[in-house]
Amino acid sequence: MAKRIDVSGLNVYYGDFLAVEDVSMTIEPRAVTAFIGSSGCGKSTFLRTLNRMHEVAPNARVDGKVMLDDLDIYAPEVDPVAVRREIGMVFQQPNPFPTMSIYDNVIAGSKLNNQRMSKSNADDIVERALRDANLWDEVKDRLAKPGSGLSGGQQQRLCIARAVAVQPEVLLMDEPCSALDPISTLAIEDLIASLKENYTICIVTHNMQQAARVSDQTAFFNLAGTGQPGRLIEMGETNKIFTKPDKKETENYITGRFG
């Protein structure tokens, strides 16, 4: 498990609007890469190009290259649905399926794809995914209850369990903690730290302390100006970005002297 992502010369469009311009970066396997930057600079947009979720929006398109190990995921013969099975995603708002129980939510990836599996096999997958997501002890006695009955933090961990249950290579997280309280946030940060042993993880966050705590690499995005596309300003070891960044812009953002 865990693959490297290599992005080169990526431009991301919504119709005619260029949202993110010319991004090249390498995302290391078994490590956490944080994307930071002000609102609207295209962090979510960029993140969603990594598992081809971007094209779900009307008229959205991309040019450039995204390599998953040695497969270009934007090659014409690649099926976006298959890409999304390899690269899981966790969203800002916890979004468990309201019609499903906790159990069914965890195995939703196979269930919705009509994959048959034995009861014991499913039980194993559910338990492993929930343990991976640090949620097993809290829900093991109510697996048949609906997922929407859990607290926000538990729902978000359920969504993480759902994402890891399909055993992806990469896990993308778009501000997974921004709707959560500090305790749940801590639980998720611990979870990220333990998941990085097996996955490549990208996390968008608005919280600089969080980026500093959980990530190994940090990428800083910024807008050249209003109406301008977002760009990758600088990327490197988290330590370095937060202590002595190469660019003045990065330093301004990190130290809060922005604009």
Partner 1 sequence: MTTTTNKPSTGAPGDGPDIADRSLLTGSLPRYFAPALLAGVAAVVAGLLFVSGSFGLPLFAIGTVVAYTVLITLASARVENGRKAKDRLVTTVVYTCFGLAMVPLLSLLWTVLSMGIERLDGYFLSVSMSGVTPTMDAGGVYHAIVGTIAITLFASLISIPIGLMTAIYLVEYGRGRLKKAITFFVDVMTGIPSIVAGLFVVALWMMFFGPGNTNGAAGAVALSVLMIPVVVRSSEEMLQLVPTQLREASYALGVPKWLTIVKVVLPTAIAGITTGIMLAIARVIGETAPLVLTAGSSAVAINWDLFNGQMMSLPVFIYSQVRMGDAINYERAWAAALTLILIVMLLFFVARLVSRFFAPKLGR
Ligand X SMILES: Nc1ncnc2c1ncn2[C@@H]1O[C@H](COP(=O)(O)OP(=O)(O)O)[C@@H](O)[C@H]1O
Q: Could you tell me which residues are beta bridge partners of residue 68?
A: 5, 71
Residues 6+ apart with CB under 8 A from 187: 134, 153, 157
Min CB(91)–ligand X separation in Å: 12
Burial per residue of 105-115, b for 16 or more beta-carbon CB atoms within 10 angstroms, e otherwise:
bbbbbbbeeee
If the CB atoms of residues 44 and 155 are measured against Mg ion, the closer one turns out to be 44
Min CB(92)–partner 1 separation in Å: 9
Min CB(61)–ligand X separation in Å: 12
Length of the chain: 259
Per rule CB under 8 A, is residue 95 in the interface with partner 1? yes
Alpha helix ranges (H) inside the chain: 43-49, 80-86, 102-106, 108-111, 119-132, 136-139, 152-165, 182-195, 208-214, 238-243, 248-254
Min CB(100)–ligand X separation in Å: 27
Signed CA dihedral, 199, 205, 209, 212: sign only:
positive
Per rule CB under 8 A, is residue 1 in the interface with partner 1? no
If the CB atoms of residues 60 and 107 are measured against ligand X, the closer one turns out to be 60
If the CB atoms of residues 36 and 47 are measured against partner 1, the closer one turns out to be 47
Residues 6+ apart with CB under 8 A from 41: 221, 222, 223, 230
Chain centroid to CA 99: how far?
24
Question: Among the candidate windows 39-47, 55-63, 135-143, 236-244, which touches Mg ion by CB under 5 A?
Answer: 39-47
238 three-class SS: helix
Pick the binder of partner 1 from 139, 143, 166, 170 (CB under 8 A). Answer: 166
Count of residues binding Mg ion (CB under 5 A)?
A: 1
Number of H helices, E strands in the chain: 11, 10
- Per partner kind, with CB cut-offs from 5 to 8 A, the member of ligand X, Mg ion, partner 1, none near residue 45 is ligand X
Min CB(166)–ligand X separation in Å: 24
- Sole residue written with tokens 């190469």: 246
Pick the binder of partner 1 from 3, 43, 162, 196 (CB under 8 A). Answer: 162
Pick the binder of partner 1 from 72, 91, 186, 216 (CB under 8 A). Answer: 91
46, 50, 35, 40: which is closest to 218 by C-alpha?
35
Pick the binder of partner 1 from 88, 229, 230, 245 (CB under 8 A). Answer: 88
Which residues are at the interface with partner 1 (CB under 8 A)?
Answer: 51, 53, 56, 58, 81-86, 88-89, 91, 93, 95-99, 108-109, 111-114, 144-146, 148-149, 159, 162-163, 166
Which residues are at the interface with Mg ion (CB under 5 A)?
Answer: 44
